[in-house]
């Protein structure tokens, strides 16, 4: 069960969970800081939400199961053409082992919600909470997309670091929610927002609770929806919700298709299925070090105060929009500006990942930083081994193809 969350806190969590935190730092004049940077790891301090989801798109998620009617819910969603995400509680999963297999077969994502449902910031052994459930769900997780949601949304960077240090870096999370976190009753007793567990605690009807969910969904027009499949009335409400949202033109995706979570999954594996280079394999100029930035852990060559380019046209345009002026065309920028303008994704602004060359590309240009092995091959192919081309952050796509992936 998720704890009721104050609406202001929910909006703050949305800010902290995405690039808005970086924008706030820049607005306060903190260009020289390290906001937006993170180690290459899967658990992160900021929780992941529905940032970047297309308008009219929702991702249904269910916590605390499996329960007596989870199998029924799974079949219903499959018949409706909807793939959902089930954050299972290990102690319940142990009672319904056959349901985990069905969830996967029906196209849903089985995810981790701890074993005993503790407050993760207070439990004495968060590692055991994740590992015990991992042992139960591991073989039922689709495509290696391991997601974790903290019970009650209770999470911080200390817990993230503990889990990463314990070797649980295959997980992405914690995954928060946009819709379904609290029950908000208007003066006329109708609901502007709802949380299913709170609805049932207050004795609300399925129809009243549904109205709260629908009102919040219409208000946000996108997001990750939180419900609980251990409650029978939540199953009934889901069936009505799906019908109504479809009539209103909403589309459904699985949580691992939400952009912020896709970015998290890409920390370990890029879109081509190739592992991102580790920091010690990346070549940076003297005085610069490979550093992961954004929620996707994309690499940049950074010094204490500068970032090494050249940078994409997309980054340069954003730089100019933010008042960078002629300096936006420079090969080196201030560290804070570069991290901010890069964005939170795997590739910098203006670029997209090309699996054939194994790099982020913009037009005919491919952008690094490149690996030490690639730089070595570059020098071997070049008439001038000391050519600045091999030391740069931008090569032609064709040349990179001839050099090969690192």
Whole-number Cα distances in Å, 122 to 6, 65, 96, 119, 125 = 20, 22, 28, 5, 9
Domain boundaries, the chain: 7-264, 275-403
pTM of the model: 0.61
Read off the pLDDT of residues 161-205 as tens digits, 9 standing for 90 and up.
899 888 888 899 899 999 999 999 999 999 999 999 999 999 999
Four-CA torsion 7, 33, 154, 222, nearest 10 degrees: 50
Rounded Cα distance between 172 and 267, Å, is 9
Q: Which segments in the chain show pLDDT lower than 50? A: 1-41, 269-275
**Class assignment of domain 7-264?**
alpha beta
Tracing tokens 């994309």 back to the chain, one arrives at 298
What is the tally of helices (H) and strands (E) in the chain? 16, 18
Please report, for residues 134, 172, 224, 396, the alpha-carbon distance to residue 138 in angstroms, rounded to integers and kept in the order given.
5, 14, 23, 41
**Category of 151 on φ-ψ map: left (φ > 0), alpha (ψ -120 to 50) or beta:** beta
Q: Are 256 and 109 in contact (CB under 8 A)?
A: yes
- Distance between CA atoms of residues 336 and 67, nearest Å: 48
C-alpha distances (whole Å) from 109 to each of 90, 118, 119, 145 are 15, 22, 23, 8
């Amino acid at each position: 069960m998720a704890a009721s969350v104050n609406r202001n806190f929910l909006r703050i969590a949305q800010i902290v969970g995405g690039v808005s935190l970086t924008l706030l730092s820049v607005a306060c004049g903190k260009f020289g800081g390290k906001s937006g940077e993170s180690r290459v790891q899967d658990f992160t301090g900021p929780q992941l939400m529905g940032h970047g989801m297309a308008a009219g798109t929702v991702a249904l998620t269910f916590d605390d199961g499996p329960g007596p009617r989870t199998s029924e819910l799974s079949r219903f969603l499959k018949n409706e053409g909807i793939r959902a995400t089930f954050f299972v509680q290990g102690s319940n999963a142990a009672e319904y082992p056959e349901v985990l297999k069905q969830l996967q077969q029906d196209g849903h994502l089985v995810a981790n919600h701890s074993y005993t449902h503790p407050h993760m910031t207070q439990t004495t052994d968060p590692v055991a909470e994740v590992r015990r459930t991992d042992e139960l769900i591991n073989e039922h997780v689709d495509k290696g997309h391991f997601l974790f949601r903290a019970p009650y949304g209770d999470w911080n960077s200390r817990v993230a670091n503990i889990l990463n240090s314990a070797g649980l870096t295959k997980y992405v999370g914690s995954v928060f929610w946009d819709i379904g976190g609290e029950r908000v009753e208007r003066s006329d007793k109708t609901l502007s927002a709802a949380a299913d567990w709170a609805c049932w605690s207050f004795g609300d009807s399925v129809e009243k609770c549904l109205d709260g969910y629908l009102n919040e969904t219409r208000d946000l027009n996108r997001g990750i929806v939180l419900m609980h499949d251990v409650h029978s009335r939540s199953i009934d409400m889901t069936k009505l919700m799906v019908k109504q949202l479809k009539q209103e033109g909403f589309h459904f995706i699985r949580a691992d298709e939400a952009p912020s979570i896709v970015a998290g999954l890409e920390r370990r594996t890029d879109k081509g299925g190739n592992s991102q280079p580790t920091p010690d394999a990346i070549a940076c100029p003297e005085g610069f070090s490979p550093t992961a930035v954004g929620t996707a852990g994309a690499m940049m060559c950074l010094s204490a105060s500068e970032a090494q380019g050249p940078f994409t046209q997309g980054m340069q345009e954003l730089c100019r929009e933010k008042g960078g002026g002629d300096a936006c065309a420079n090969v080196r920028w201030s560290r804070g500006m570069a991290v901010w303008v890069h964005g939170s994704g795997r590739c910098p602004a203006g670029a997209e990942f090309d699996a054939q060359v194994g790099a982020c590309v913009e037009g005919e240009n491919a952008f690094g930083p490149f690996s030490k092995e690639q730089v070595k091959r570059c020098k071997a192919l070049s008439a001038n081994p000391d050519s600045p081309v091999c030391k740069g952050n931008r090569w032609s796509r064709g040349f990179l193809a001839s050099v090969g992936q690192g």
